[in-house]
Amino acid sequence: MGETILGNTQFFTTRPEQEMEVREVLDYVYNAMEEKGYNPVNQIVGYIMSGDPTYITSHKGARSMIMKVERDELVEELLQEYIRSRDHKDA
């Protein structure tokens, strides 16, 4: 009787889509706002201060993307970037 060799079974698993870093979200939203002709700084500040998502364009899904990030995380990232840029100036 012949022996059937099936070999090793390999399993394929997928990782859930990794969340974008806050910095990446800000870059993406900034670029989408610029593409639509908006002033990205004014619009993002308006969103952070008010929580009103209509400050952010829905172009390229920017509005839904920024809404996945807590507003305090956006402020924290912006402040950290400001401090990093100051540290580089002082060096």
Confidence grade of residue 91 (pLDDT, cut at 50, 70, 90): low
DSSP state of 2: P
What percent of the chain stands above pLDDT 70?
A: 77
pLDDT of residue 87: 84
Secondary structure in 3-state letters for 3-63: CCCCCCCCCCCCCCCCCCCHHHHHHHHHHHHHHCCCCHHHHHHHHHHHCCHHHCCCHHHHH
pLDDT tops 50 at residue 1: no
Mean of pLDDT over the chain: 86
pLDDT tens across 6-48, in order? 556 555 544 444 568 999 999 999 999 999 999 999 999 999 9
Distance CA 68, CA 56 (A): 13
Q: For residue 44, give the nearest of 21, 24, 71, 19 by alpha carbon.
A: 71
pLDDT of residue 7: 58
pLDDT given for residue 25 in this prediction: 95
